[in-house]
Amino acid sequence: MKKATRQQTKVHNRNLVLHTIINNESVSRAEIARITSLTKTTVSDIVADLLEEGLIAEIGVGESLGGKNPILLSLLPDSRCLLGLDLAHNQFQGAIVNLRGQIQKKASLPVNDRDGNEALALVYEILDQLIPGCNLPLVGIGVGTPGLVNTRDGVVVDAVNLDWHDFPLAQLLKDRYHLPVYILNDSQAAAIGEYTYGKGHIAESSLVVIHVHHGIGSGIVINGHLFQGDGGGAGEIGHVVVVSEGGLLCRCGNRGCLETVASAQAIVRRIRTLANESYSNSWQDPAHKITLDEVERAYNLGDPLALQVVSESARYMGLAISGLVGILNIHEIVLSGDMTSFGRPWLDTIVDTMQHTSLSRSVQDTRVEFGQLGANAVILGSTAVMANNYSLLFTGQPTQAEFTYQ
């Protein structure tokens, strides 16, 4: 193994100290030395640098364990800002986020079926709206987009709805804004968001977030690291075939994919079809274009057709999750995206189906729950990637660091 250079050791130690301060509400220099096994002098030098950078502050004194009362240090969450984008189907959303994942300002624009360069113009418009609202050092731009993404090169390999193919989004944004840029698949971003900021899941170091919105995808975090697979497409659960015969054609070219029966789009389409076949329910006006919001309202009012269709979709989700749990043996499954608005009955049907379609013992130990971040999961995940990449937080170094998720 190659020996670390002095510079590498210095950066490693600095990151270790910063990590310790971030992970504790407040902590003294002596405690940092104890936790990191670094010498007190090294810790003091690094803390001096962090104070000078304005990333941390001395916030008071702690209890004495004999001797002088120690000075407590804490992260200054509002010392930097990060920009996060969620390029969701109907609406692009963006936000300024601080170092603790708190949203400072939000903007959103309707997509109205725009794609290609028009969709790119919309991305610019949101960023142009947000950037003047950030008066602190701006760490970078994180983008969660649907589709297959090459995160290392910042290229959207294939996003059908946006008509982006081998689209160099990171480079385009870097050229325009001169900031580091990270592009992630939206479900993978949601997974990092929930992993980093979703309190309540933090006991587990591995989790799978299934993002069920217009499409369906998942993000897999294993031992604290995002698992992207060999080609970046790990977690494409939306295209697992769950209807073996007579399934609907999916946008991927196959038939009977999970997305064709369990996504928000699938539910709306199914209700439209069934409503056209039946004249005995409240959906009968064929000229009316049914929306997901309407399905949700009808579902909450106990409309039999909405109940039937949503419950059918939940059973397919349960079936797919059962397969996933059987393979990965991960105990924490988190659901995010539009479909979570169908609430507890939807979730309970998923869990029930999962338990009844798997022989795997690991299913019995699996928790399936809603995400903690709601509609902000993708935005917060795309910024968490940068907040966790400490080299980006130092003002003298506006460089595009290697993509690593710590």
Which residues of this chain interact with Zn ion, rule CB under 5 A? 239, 250, 252, 254, 257
Smaller CB distance to Zn ion: residue 231 or 345? Answer: 231
b (16+ CB within 10 A) / e for 231-254: ebbbbbbbbbebbeeeeeebeeee
Q: What is the DSSP string of 344-383?
A: HHHHHHHHHHHHHS---GGGGG-EEEE-SSGGGHHHHHHH
Q: How far is the CB of 275 from Zn ion (least distance, A)?
A: 25
Q: Which of 305, 318, 311, 330 is nearest to 355 (CA)?
A: 318
Q: How many CB atoms lie within 10 A of CB 66?
A: 4
Nearer Cβ to Zn ion, position 160 or 172?
A: 160
In the complex, minimum distance from the CB of residue 166 to Zn ion, in angstroms, rounded to a whole number? 20
Helix, strand, coil shares, percent, the chain, to 5:
45, 20, 35
Rounded to the nearest whole angstrom, what is the least distance from the CB of residue 252 to Zn ion in the complex? 3
Residue 259 CB, nearest approach to Zn ion (Å): 5
Radius of gyration of the chain (CA): 23
Q: Please state the closest distance from residue 53 (CB atom) to Zn ion, in A.
A: 47
Q: Which is nearer to Zn ion, 158 or 332 (CB)?
A: 158
How many other C-beta atoms can be found within 10 angstroms of the C-beta atom of residue 327?
A: 9
Q: In the complex, what is the shortest distance from the CB of residue 114 to Zn ion, in angstroms, rounded to a whole number?
A: 23
Q: Are 180 and 123 in contact (CB under 8 A)?
A: no
The residue among 216 and 221 lying less far from Zn ion, judged by its C-beta, is 216
Q: Which is nearer to Zn ion, 260 or 376 (CB)?
A: 260
Q: For residues 88 and 105, give the distance between their C-alpha atoms in angstroms, rounded to a whole number.
A: 18
Nearer to Zn ion, 208 or 250 (CB): 250
